[in-house]
Amino acid sequence: MNDKPKIGLFPGTFDPITNGHMDVICRGQRLFDKMIVAIGHNPAKAELFNMDERREMIEELIRQTCDDHVSVQCYQGLTVDFAREVGATAILRGLRNVTDLNFEFQLALTNRAIADIETVFTMTGDAYAFASSTLIKQIAAGGDIDRLHRMLPKLVIEKMKQKKHEHGGVLPWLQVDHFKE
């Protein structure tokens, strides 16, 4: 019998963290003895919140909603390398739709082939299946951040409003030439 604790790693950029992410975290925590929400950097994505801001928000949300065995860590580099570093048993991934499944399936097979780590999939709750951080940033750019209340935790909405106010009414994400191909 294996007494080694089952450690789940839920990686993402979480910029911003959504109610869908929180749903996966809350349901995923029941699958593992310890779960790590791993905030990574994706150079292909323009940041709304820096890593420290994201970590602080996620830690606060986890304090409010999760068990003691869920923690938050930031990392650089490949997710599989970080998973190995923290002794993760599996990578947890949330699926919203068939498009996610196609991408995640290929990624899971690659991770297993190159790092011998399993991937555990869980379906995002129905209420969050349409939301993505990219879509949320686009909606927020259009104006009223409050209309995102079904997609984002209240704390995140408040932080987005604060950031918009600090930057003269424009979200810093929009200051990057993000819309060019």
Which pLDDT does position 172 carry in this prediction?
Answer: 66
* pLDDT above 50: residue 143: yes
Domain annotation covers residue 146:
no
Domain annotation covers residue 118:
yes
* pLDDT above 70: residue 100: yes
* pLDDT above 80: residue 151: yes
Domain annotation covers residue 49:
yes
Tokens of 180: 């060019």
- Catalytic center residues: 21, 45, 96, 133
Domain annotation covers residue 57:
yes
Q: Residue 67 is part of which domain span? A: 7-129
pLDDT band per the 50, 70, 90 thresholds, residue 1: low
* pLDDT above 50: residue 181: no
Helix (H, G, I), strand (E, B) or coil at 138: helix
The count of structural domains within the chain is: 1
pLDDT band per the 50, 70, 90 thresholds, residue 180: very low
0.85 cut: is pTM over it? Answer: yes
Domain annotation covers residue 106:
yes
Distance of CA 4 to the CA centre of its chain: 26
* pLDDT above 90: residue 95: no
User: Residues 40-89: pLDDT tens digits?
Assistant: 998 888 888 999 999 999 999 999 998 889 999 999 999 999 999 999 99
| DSSP assignment string, 73-133 | EE--S-HHHHHHHHT-SEEEEEE-SHHHHHHHHHHHHHHHHHH--EEEEEEPPGGGTT--H
Domain annotation covers residue 35:
yes
CATH of the domain at 79: 3.40.50.620
pLDDT band per the 50, 70, 90 thresholds, residue 117: very high
Judge contact between 8 and 37, C-beta under 8 A: no
* Burial (Cβ within 10 Å: 0-12, 13-18, ≥19) of residue 109: exposed
β-sheet bridge partners, residue 74? 39
Domain annotation covers residue 154:
no
Judge contact between 137 and 173, C-beta under 8 A: yes
Domain annotation covers residue 88:
yes
